[in-house]
Amino acid sequence: MSRAAELTADGLLRRLFLRHALDEQRHATLFAERARALLAAAANAGPVRFEGNWLAPGERGLDDLRVEQQSPESLLAFLHLSEKAAAGRFQIYQEVLAADPQTRAVFREVLRDEAFHMTYTDKQLGRIAPRRRGWRLWQAPLGRLWKAYLRLAVAVAGAIGTVALLVQYFVLLPPFALLAKRSQRRELPGWAPVPTSSGKGQYR
Ligand SMILES: [Fe+2]
């Protein structure tokens, strides 16, 4: 968001992007603090059995947003849809977190900002591209769909790679190992003289 603020020539967008950047920074701090408190509380609860990180989008470079390559309209459309999705998710999280009022309070606070981000991106998109607003909002999810496909393709490629290696190990390798064992049995133990054409040893 800071990079987007640097790049835009529109004064109002720059101010909004900067505020957005500061909000996201504050959210990161809030989440990190809460996560640290939860980790400290769970330190005695035993080892973690399931890590679901690989299910989540992000962290693989696929979801990186290259601000330089985006037009202001497509950036605003992307931001609007992302903030809308985040607001929807945070709403659910805070609803189900009745048992954890502190984490619920974090989500409630973040949700207020997300609602603002969702609204301002839509308004600004309407201001700078009033006629293309609908098209941009329709077009932006296609990029997300493509990234979802790429994530799936990476997961499938990983699975195929694992299967191919397992087949190599258990099907292709055993015959060679068997042949190597058989030829090993035919070998005489210890040193064996190697006959040369002159009948003399190699170094004589
Ligand atoms: Fe946000």
Ligand 1 centroid from CA 113, angstroms:
7
Q: Which residue is listed with tokens 């054409």? A: 197
Rounded to the nearest angstrom, the distance between the alpha carbon of 24 and the centre of ligand 1 is: 6
In a domain, 144, yes or no: no
Give the distance (Å) from ligand 1 centre to CA of residue 176. 58
Distance 79 CA to ligand 1 centre (A): 8
Residue 158 lies in a domain: no
- Asked whether residue 198 is domain-assigned, the answer is no
Identify the DSSP state of 68. Answer: G
Are 83 and 114 in contact, with CB atoms under 8 Å apart? yes
How do the pLDDT tens digits run along the chain, 204 residues long?
A: 999 999 999 999 999 999 999 999 999 999 999 999 988 888 777 666 666 665 565 555 556 678 888 888 889 998 998 899 889 999 999 899 988 899 999 999 999 999 999 999 999 999 988 877 777 777 777 777 887 888 889 989 999 999 999 999 999 999 999 999 998 888 888 887 777 766 555 565
CA–centroid distance, residue 181 to ligand 1 (Å): 63
What residues does the ion ligand 1 have nearby, CB within 5 Å? 83, 114, 117
pLDDT at residue 60, rounded to an integer: 53
Going from the Cα of 51 to the center of ligand 1, the distance in angstroms, rounded, reads 25
CATH number of the domain enclosing 31? 1.20.1260
In a domain, 31, yes or no: yes
Say what the pLDDT of residue 146 is.
81
Of 3, 128, 154, 19, nearest to 72 (Cα)? 128
The pair of three-digit structure tokens given for residue 127, joined into one six-digit string: 């201001």
Distance 156 CA to ligand 1 centre (A): 31
User: How many domains does the chain divide into?
Assistant: 1
Alpha helices in 129-188 (DSSP H): 133-167, 173-186
Distance (angstroms) between ligand 1 centre and the Cα of 173 equals 53
Structural domain includes residue 195: no
176 domain-assigned? no
What residues make up the domain containing 129? 2-44+56-139
CA of 118 to the centre of ligand 1 (A): 8
In the reported structure, the alpha carbon of residue 48 is separated from the centroid of ligand 1 by a whole-number distance in angstroms of 29
pLDDT recorded at residue 15: 95
Whether 203 is in a domain gets the answer: no
Residue 98 included in any domain: yes
| Ligand 1 midpoint to CA 190 (Å) | 74
10 vs 7: CA distance, rounded Å: 9
Q: How far is the CA of 152 from the centre of ligand 1 (A)?
A: 26
The Cα 44–Cα 101 span in angstroms is 21
Report the predicted TM-score, pTM, of the whole model to 2 decimal places: 0.63
- 23 Cα to the center of ligand 1, angstroms: 7
Query: 116: CA distance to ligand 1 center in Å?
Result: 8
